[in-house]
Structure 1
Amino acid sequence: MSQLSSYHFTETQDWFSHNEDHWKRLFTLITSKEPRVLEIGSWEGRSAVFLLNHLCQDGGEIVCIDHFDLFHTPAGRERFEKINHNLSQTGKPFRVLSQFSFPALMKLLEEEIAVSQPSLQTHPSHHQVVLRKTTEMRIGFLVENQAVEDTDEAMGYGINVVLTVDSSYALGAAVTMRSAVEATPGRITFYIVDCGLEDVDKDKLGQSVNIRDDVTMVFLSLPENALARELGPVWAKLDLHVLLPVERVLYLDSDTLVRTNLKGLWKTDLRGLPLAAVPDVGHPMGHDGIDRKMYFNAGVMLMDLAKIRMNSQSLLETGRKMKNSLFRDQDALNVHFVEWTALSLKWNAQGLGTYANYPSADRDILNLNDMVDPYIVHFTGPVHPTLAQVLSPYVQPPTAKPWGYLGSPNHPFQQDWRSIMEKTSWQGIRSSDTWKENTEREVQRSIQSAIDEFRKKIGL
């Protein structure tokens, strides 16, 4: 490849370079010495440049299709200028079609039909299949020169939502996503960071959420160098800027319940800051282990990943330094992101029916009335609380997840959560023998753990 400085790429939008080695391994399977490449969704042309310089180094060409917002936005026009510049730097044949995929493909087909000796061979036997994509592909039908009332909707733009999930949180994640889909019209893309899901979990999540054509679910695996592989799944939030192929994303914990259209949150002005979040109701000013300042809860975050990528190494270093901090990933995020945009408690209502009702000087600075009719409910606390947590006089009733052995006692939205659960693939699970057996097993485990701890304390 030519010197990188000759290309005009946005470094925070590099969603390809980490895949170069995987693509090169596929190139050895391609038999044509002068391959003709058709790429849909080329953005600034980073992958197209790679294909021309490596796959087509001895001959061949590329046709790139991208709508570039139909030139309705400055960003779209800038991408069009960059891709043409970048491809021209390779010195190899290329063509850029500034259309949505369907009209662009139709244009190519019409051109081939019109010529006397078509260069596109249309019989399936003339094509070599190297790798087949089995997930659904978004096909754009919008044509240029048409009046557009809502540009974002017309361009197929929607909301990007990410969750980090393992098997113990699969049920919670299903409720979170199903509630979001029911409350939010329009396109939603769910990115699921796989922190230990079984195939059956993935199947049930898909069945629970894919109830509309404009809802997409993408599972992402943790790379070998992910912080979550090094320190544990809870740290996956600090890997999102590496994993996701987008610039902006809404992170939701898998113990949340969405009660309103997420578009209002999605369109929040971040004011040039990397993220927006809600103050932590339990510890509004943090805790003794970190500097005293306004402290956010990491269960709901609107993130500008492009901005976060500009200082990503520092974020990972902070995570490693704080791996033993009291609230681990949440503490690390608060230390790293000194400045953030504060959201209303409506977008992350925590501690309802329990510690939110307890008097606290720090809590007095919060407008707790915002949580009376919240937009997103957050069921904080463990899945299965310990015996000590259940009996503690300091927080009553105890906090716990709705799908744990205790449920979420006294929580005003527990029944709403259960109603959504009955619309997922886990419908009827609470009345099953499996549920009852698991509940009893977790109760006995909590009791035995407390007995073991007591014996250890008194030296028996």
Structure 2
Amino acid sequence: MDTTTAHEPDKYEFTASQDWSSYHQDTWATLFPLVKTHAPRILEVGSWEGRSAVFFAERLCKTGGEVVCVDHFDLLHTAAGRERYARMQRNLARCGKQYRIVDDFSAPGLMTLLNESISVDDPGFDWIHIDGSHEGDDTFLDGELAWRLARNGSIIIFDDYRWQREPETSIHHPRRGIDAFLDLHNGQYEKLSDAYQMIIRKTTNLRLGFLAKGYTDEATLVKTLYSDDRAAHPLSYETSRLHTAEQTHAPAEAMSIALTVDAEYAMAAAVALRSLAEHADEPATVYVLDCGLSALDRERIETSLPPASAVTVSFLALPENSLAARLGTSWAKVDLLRVLPVEKVIYLDADVLCRKSLGELWRTDMRGDAIAAVPDIRYPLGHPGVPREAYFNAGVLLLDVAQLRPNLDKLETLALEMKNMRNSDQDALNVFSRPHWTALDLQWNVQGLGASAAQPFVHPTQRAAGALNKLQSPAIVHFTGPVSPSMAQVLDTAHVYTEKPWSYAGAPGHPYREEWWAVLEGTAWKGLRGSPEWEKRCEEELAGAVKVGTQKFREAVAENAAALRN
């Protein structure tokens, strides 16, 4: 018998001709960081020999957890069913993780799990894979029953959404049932992908929604049916109605936010995320593209969020042959588009300070464009080297990732051609998207504060009364400019130099410098300002600026002297 495997060739009994999961493993792996518990519960509907169940268990249950598989195995009435059941038992046992097989058809099998969950203190699953049937009505029923077992934040995967054996509009195609399920639960999930499988993340609390004879004692009955206590068991119908009423104004999809961060900007990113979380009034997931962070950097960034924050952080790895590795970290925002597990995202530079909820920005009408951004205050119509037309700053971007992905090869080619431009990645993004980008309200990326910049440019779509007043109360402050100023910039009294609040010079002219430092005190870098470590760092940076400045001064004097001699 042909029993090759993608795990360990001699360990598992998988039939090579029945491998329907290996193709999806890379996609699944990008979603594993979204599972935050160290002991996740995995539910699979339709497991066959257990190939995907073993993959999930090996990757997600490294420190604990359980995989529960529902499959009928011909109810063990046939030799083939009994053989497949025995093989799956051996595969799961060899995996070495806790497992359970519910040998029943999906509807009664899921009802068994639902009934058992009534008396469990913390019921539900964190990862659900549904592959039980190709019939639309079967898939809808499997999805609805599994939904009631799904915890808030759980990943739910429907297989064969793009199956080509039957027309997608046929009741004999799973898509029809999946679409009906998605329509029913609109506003209660975030869509992550529909490339072949439909993958969503649940954004509402678990609700079993019923009681059952034989599974409910009197105390549970009284607690759930006659209590308005929000902490009541999640199967309470009355309590669940209260939750639903309070969530009627929830957004249609949870926010996704992304940053690209290296070790140099780890502290700044922590401030950006802390300020974001302090003003968040709805759930959001932040994807941090790791461009060289240490384990300590990642830990400090995560612990910088407020307790019980509505914001969660997931770290992503750079793709192979990344632009960041070839051209520098500033290009990582392009790499981000290849690895994000979502179809829409707010991109933020690490040197920003959020001062209000980003929900309004998230729901901006992009008018069909793939990029929405704020005009650049220094170069509102571009600069020599790029076409003279409206030009945006790339520090804050609202991106339609799904629309951008098909053109990524074109964007990367453009990046290589423009790698030596003045504003490199920003120039490439402007040329790539021109003239089809949506201008955001100026408040979403307030740049150049504290510098003697020209009057801010107002995009034609924003020429409304009071548009510039938004600059007086920015939603996002962007600390543009270099990390630290050069000696020449500091000595140039005709202009106010710009730099970051954490530079040796301290951004003396910036009105939000102290607010940035106040937010830092809530992060893992608390107490840094004024510490011996900080004073030493500033002295070293100052000495470096003086050394470079002195050398340039000597070179200029020598050049002038040589010109006079000639």
With the length of structure 2 as denominator, give the TM-score of the two structures.
0.59
Q: For the residues of structure 2 that align with 1:226 and 1:143, how far apart are their CA atoms? A: 50
TM-aligned CA deviation for residue 184 of structure 1? 1.4
1:170 maps to 266
Q: For the residues of structure 2 that align with 1:74 and 1:426, how far apart are their CA atoms? A: 37
Cα deviation code 1:357-400 (max 9, x no counterpart): x358x679885433111111111111112112222355x21000
1:100/1:47 Cα in 2 relative to 1: closer, same or farther (>3 Å)? farther
- Counting only pairs closer than 5 Å after superposition, residues 208-223 of structure 1 correspond to structure 2 as 208-223=304-319
**Structure 2, gaps ≥5 residues long:** 1-15, 18-23, 32-50, 59-84, 93-100, 103-127, 130-153, 164-177, 216-233
2:486 maps to 386
1:369 aligns with 2:469: yes
**Match of residue 551, structure 2, among 433, 452, 457:** 452
- Counting only pairs closer than 5 Å after superposition, residues 245-284 of structure 1 correspond to structure 2 as 245-284=341-380
Q: For the residues of structure 1 that align with 2:183 and 2:459, how far apart are their CA atoms? A: 50
Q: Matched residue of 2:271: which SS?
A: helix
TM-aligned CA deviation for residue 223 of structure 1? 2.0
1:405 aligns with 2:504: yes
1:440 aligns with 2:539: yes
**Matched AA of 2:546:** I
Equivalent residues of 1:66, 1:99 under 8 A apart: no
Cα deviation code 1:401-458 (max 9, x no counterpart): 0011111121111111111111111111111000000000000001111223344453
Equivalent residues of 1:100, 1:143 under 8 A apart: no
Q: Matched residue of 2:285: which SS?
A: strand
**Matched AA of 1:179:** S
1:425 maps to 524
Q: For the residues of structure 1 that align with 2:237 and 2:179, how far apart are their CA atoms? A: 12
1:340 aligns with 2:440: no
Q: For the residues of structure 2 that align with 1:28 and 1:346, how far apart are their CA atoms? A: 44
Q: For the residues of structure 2 that align with 1:75 and 1:418, how far apart are their CA atoms? A: 37
Moved more, 37-46 or 429-438: 37-46
Equivalent residues of 1:100, 1:142 under 8 A apart: no
Q: For the residues of structure 2 that align with 1:46 and 1:406, how far apart are their CA atoms? A: 58
**Matched AA of 2:271:** V
1:418/1:432 Cα in 2 relative to 1: closer, same or farther (>3 Å)? same
Cα deviation code 1:158-180 (max 9, x no counterpart): 21111111121111111111111
Q: For the residues of structure 2 that align with 1:450 and 1:46, how far apart are their CA atoms? A: 63
Q: For the residues of structure 2 that align with 1:141 and 1:336, how far apart are their CA atoms? A: 51
With the length of structure 1 as denominator, give the TM-score of the two structures.
0.72
Q: For the residues of structure 1 that align with 2:389 and 2:203, how far apart are their CA atoms? A: 49
TM-aligned CA deviation for residue 73 of structure 1? 3.5
Cα deviation code 1:231-270 (max 9, x no counterpart): 1111001112111100111111111111111111111111
Equivalent residues of 2:504, 2:539 under 8 A apart: yes
Q: For the residues of structure 1 that align with 2:426 and 2:408, how far apart are their CA atoms? A: 16
Equivalent residues of 2:161, 2:197 under 8 A apart: no
**Matched AA of 1:417:** W
TM-aligned CA deviation for residue 27 of structure 1? 5.7
1:292/1:32 Cα in 2 relative to 1: closer, same or farther (>3 Å)? farther
Cα deviation code 1:49-82 (max 9, x no counterpart): 9xxxxxxxxxxxxxxx999546244998x999x8
RMSD of aligned Cα (Å):
4.4
Q: For the residues of structure 2 that align with 1:164 and 1:175, how far apart are their CA atoms? A: 14
TM-aligned CA deviation for residue 308 of structure 1? 0.7
**Structure 1, gaps ≥5 residues long:** 3-12, 50-64, 88-97, 114-139
TM-aligned CA deviation for residue 210 of structure 1? 4.8
Moved more, 202-211 or 427-436: 202-211
1:353 aligns with 2:450: yes
Q: For the residues of structure 2 that align with 1:382 and 1:399, how far apart are their CA atoms? A: 7
Q: For the residues of structure 2 that align with 1:141 and 1:194, how far apart are their CA atoms? A: 40
Equivalent residues of 1:167, 1:196 under 8 A apart: yes
Cα deviation code 1:165-214 (max 9, x no counterpart): 11211111111111111111121211111112122211211111152253
TM-aligned CA deviation for residue 216 of structure 1? 1.0
2:27 maps to 16
TM-aligned CA deviation for residue 141 of structure 1? 8.6
TM-aligned CA deviation for residue 311 of structure 1? 1.4
1:188/1:232 Cα in 2 relative to 1: closer, same or farther (>3 Å)? same
1:152/1:247 Cα in 2 relative to 1: closer, same or farther (>3 Å)? farther
Q: How many residues align?
A: 389
**Match of residue 199, structure 1, among 295, 316, 326:** 295
Q: Matched residue of 1:209: which SS?
A: coil
1:178/1:18 Cα in 2 relative to 1: closer, same or farther (>3 Å)? closer
- Which of structures 1 and 2 has the bigger CA Rg? 2
1:343/1:14 Cα in 2 relative to 1: closer, same or farther (>3 Å)? farther
Equivalent residues of 2:319, 2:338 under 8 A apart: no
2:283 maps to 187
1:150/1:101 Cα in 2 relative to 1: closer, same or farther (>3 Å)? closer
1:71 aligns with 2:71: no
1:99/1:446 Cα in 2 relative to 1: closer, same or farther (>3 Å)? closer
